[in-house]
Amino acid sequence: MKTIPLLLFSLLLAGLPAAAEDRPNFVFLLVDDLGWGDFGCYGAEFYETPNIDKLADQGMIFSNAYAACTVCSPSRAAILTGCYPARIHLTDWIKGHVRPRAPLAVPDWNMRIDHERVVLPEALKEGGYSTGFFGKWHLMPIDAEDFEEHYPTDHGFDLNVGGREWGQPKGPGKYFSPFGMPNLDDGEKGDYLTDKLTDAALDYLDEQSKAENPFLLYFSYYTLHGPIMAPPELVKKYQEKAKGFDNKKNELLNPKRAGMVESLDNSVGRLMAKLEELGIADNTVVILTGDNGGDYPETSGGLRDYKAFSHEGGVREPFVVRWPGEIQAGSSSDVPVIGTDFYPTLLKMAGLPARPDEHCDGLNLTPLLKGEVEDLDRDTLYWHYPHYHRTKPYGAVREGDWKLIEFFEDGALELFDLANDPSESKNLAEEKPELAQRLLKKMQDWRKSVDAQMMTPNPKHVPKKK
């Protein structure tokens, strides 16, 4: 059993932060539009991800990890707040789709994180951490008067490189220079966004390695969101690989997207090499996950549907954690976890007091990561999407291996046994009506408990002609 230094033990008992040298650094890697089947360690064969696979071999990999929403802004807010999107009323990507003639009207939802909330980087800063943000933010109320008050640096980050209102690259060169992003060097013609953001992150690591305080490097990749663009040499590589490729797993044989995945993998490899070079790898927790499913059905690793859909392919995510000395290398877990869990988990890792009034819906995962328990004191996860997208508005609940989906327009129910039917091919709602109604009641009670916003009949609805 690992012993705890007496001073550190005393500080933890007192609820005080541990000394800087006893607290780990954090590198949090959040990938946009990441499909459950995009990495080699999750079964990909066309895409090549040796650095990410190595990271998984050095830590724990999860098979039932979830984003808090099937689209980006809500799931990103859930990570930072530790709250379900339904609780904070930030339930769609900013600023969402408009369906003025749809049967149901969308509620007046929140397009920002309220400043009254102490979010994860703010809590770490109060505990002595330096905080740096790199990449996609997409948590700003685009047309509101307080637009300028919601950059990453307004929510606990000391530094913002690349974060603005955009949900995807919209600069003159998109993924290629010039980028048009805050504090990001445009570089030279042909420079690639993922590489340039990684350059900036490496500079940040260099600076932080000389500082006394521990740090949070929050790298929120724009990739793999469209427009699908990759360095020409990688596109050519996968164009050749696609020729004659035996596509047994029905993967997306898109050379440009495959190049984006490899550039992501190269970024992870460069970050890990820098941690080793600086001598801080053993005291740095590395977390890698995604914000929602991939934007193509073939990226879901055999799960049903993809981004913005109510089924597993839209919300189940890769999740890898490396924590040297604490997590057994090569370990795995099938326990369901969700994006709200990161906030309390990082606080616990940092030796900082929990903030249950803030991260209301998250659980501390450290006992699970360290192998001290085999399960969590929770059997239920929830989703709430009162919006229109590729799917109709819905709510969902997973209890154990059972998942129920309720579609708000007509009350239709879908019930799936994920243990025996992970691809959600057989709706059991009519075969098991009592179970379906019990889960529906449980979800309805949960919605009331978090004050979830509900849809209302739309007076402007125009029924489609038959």
Res. 5: pLDDT tops 70: no
Q: What is the rounded average pLDDT for all residues in the chain? A: 95
CATH, domain range 21-373: 3.40.720.10
Q: Tens digit of pLDDT for each residue in 266-312?
A: 999 999 999 999 999 999 999 999 999 999 999 999 999 999 999 99
Predicted confidence (pLDDT) at residue 12 exceeds the cutoff of 50? no
Predicted confidence at residue 7, as pLDDT, reads 39
- In this structure, how many other beta carbons lie within 10 angstroms of the beta carbon of residue 160? 22
Beta-sheet pairing, 25-31 with 394-399: unpaired
60-62 and 319-322 beta bridge pairing: antiparallel
DSSP string, 158-221: SEEES-SS-SS--STTTTBS----TT----STT-BHHHHHHHHHHHHHHHHHTSSS-EEEEEE-
The fold of the 383-457 domain, in CATH, is: Arylsulfatase, C-terminal domain (3.30.1120)
- Residues with a catalytic annotation lie at 72, 138
pLDDT tens digits, residue range 366-387?
999 999 999 999 999 999 999 9
Peptide bond into 152 cis (omega under 30): no
The pLDDT of residue 17 is above 60: no
d(CA 404, CA 159): 41
Sequence ranges of the domains in the chain: 21-373, 383-457
Q: Is the pLDDT of residue 394 over 60?
A: yes
pTM: predicted TM-score of the whole model, two decimal places: 0.95
Does 18 have pLDDT greater than 80? no
Tens of pLDDT along 212-263?
A: 999 999 999 999 999 999 999 999 999 999 999 999 999 999 999 999 999 9
- Which residues are within 8 A (CB) of 386 and not within 5 positions of it... i.e. 6 or more apart? 91, 104, 106, 107, 109, 393, 408, 452, 453, 454, 455
